[in-house]
Chain A
Amino acid sequence: MPIYYFDTIEDTELFPDDEGVELQHADEAEAMARHALADLIRERLLDNHLGSLVIEIRDEQDEPLARFVLTSARVGFNRT
């Protein structure tokens, strides 16, 4: 089975995946990336940590397969 790697970039910080996960198909890798994003964004929002969150899927040849990007921001409305 092919191995997929999931690198995370939180704001400017890169967390490279050096272990990877064996999966049957790229669809599964995408589902896993979405699951991970949901996991990570929940924690960041609870910590009041806004900004950008990126997950990049790589294959064994280091070729990028897909990139998921989430940005979160507080939009302030001033009360008069």
Chain B
Amino acid sequence: MDSNDAVQPLLTALHIEGTLPTEDEARLRALSFRTRTFGEGETIVAEGSQPTESCVVVDGFAARVHFMEDGARQVSAIHIAGDFVDLHSLHLEEMDHEVSALGPCKVASVPHEELQHLVDESPHLMWLFWRLTVKDAAIGRAWISALGRLAADQHLAHLVCELYERLNAAGLADDHRFSLPATQIDLADMLGLSSVHVNRTIKLLCERGLLDWQQREIQILRPTALKELAQFSGEYLRLSMSEQRSPRRARVAR
């Protein structure tokens, strides 16, 4: 894989967030991406490590994982292709959690030095990266609310609705289908449930005709009903197009 393939999902993700002037696109293409492929469950960035590079998901899914002292695991985020998983590490001295592959996952790493240089050169790119982290935070808030207050069926439905909207926006899924290479244990650690409860909840949603879920292939059969059950509104995934609000941003956009 050359740098071009590695950068494409990131360009798509940034395009969702705003205009990407050609000179900024060229700057991104010029980054020295180091691509690596990880197998299911493998550690991409270890807890306690002090990364000198940040990584973007190029293909597949990555999870942010927290380990408790008793061995329990909590997944606090899922990242899809184009997500800058690890923009945090530019600011974090030491990783306070692990990033691991959810199913086979291809990532591309960029040295922090180059990223720093990139945002020094282009305030517009800094603004776009900022938006990516704002969106991550919005997703994080939605996850906390769901984790704290939704029943199992609603929470699982919420996860499915959110992932589909994100994948669909990035051009990675349509027709209400997508594949999610997560085991029942992975799902349990995302939803804060036991894996037995997850199994039963998947079956329940399938029985109600809301979903079809076979071998990690998910199809949403009744999107409106599923969203209603999940109390899902995708608004938090769509940031305001504030480019128009800032005269300077509007100039860049032209």
Contact = CB atoms under 8 A, between A and B. Distances in A.
Contacts of A47: 151
Contact of A55 (B184, B193, B196, B203): B196
Interface residues of B, number: 14
A70 B196 CA distance: 15
B141 interface: no
A17 B151 CA distance: 21
Interface residues of A, number: 18
A15 B203 contact: yes
A36 B196 contact: yes
A54 to B, nearest CB: 11
Contacts of A36: 194-197
B185 interface: yes
B152 A17 contact: no
Interface string B171-213: 0000000000001110000000111110110011000000000
Interface in A33-53: 33, 35-36, 38-40, 43, 46-47
A39 B183 CA distance: 19
Contact of B184 (A10, A21, A38, A46): A21
B195 A32 contact: yes
Contacts of B204: 15
A32 to B, nearest CB: 6
Contacts of A39: 152, 193-194, 196-197
A43 B200 CA distance: 12
Interface in A4-46: 6, 8, 10, 15, 17, 19, 21, 32-33, 35-36, 38-40, 43, 46
Given A43-B151, A43-B152, A19 B196 contact: no
Most buried by A among B151, B184, B196: B196
Interface in B217-248: none
Given A15-B200, A15-B203, A40-B200, A21 B195 contact: yes
Interface of A: 6, 8, 10, 15, 17, 19, 21, 32-33, 35-36, 38-40, 43, 46-47, 55
3 nearest A-B pairs in the assembled complex, by CB-CB distance: A36-B196, A36-B194, A15-B200
Interface of B: 151-152, 183-185, 193-197, 199-200, 203-204
Given A21-B184, A36-B196, 7 more contacts: A8-B196, A17-B199, A19-B183, A19-B184, A39-B152, A43-B151, A47-B151
28 contacts: A6-B195, A6-B196, A8-B196, A8-B200, A15-B204, A17-B196, A17-B199, A19-B183, A19-B184, A21-B184, A21-B185, A21-B195, A32-B195, A32-B196, A35-B194, A35-B196, A36-B195, A38-B194, A39-B152, A39-B194, A39-B196, A40-B196, A40-B197, A43-B151, A43-B152, A43-B197, A46-B151, A55-B196
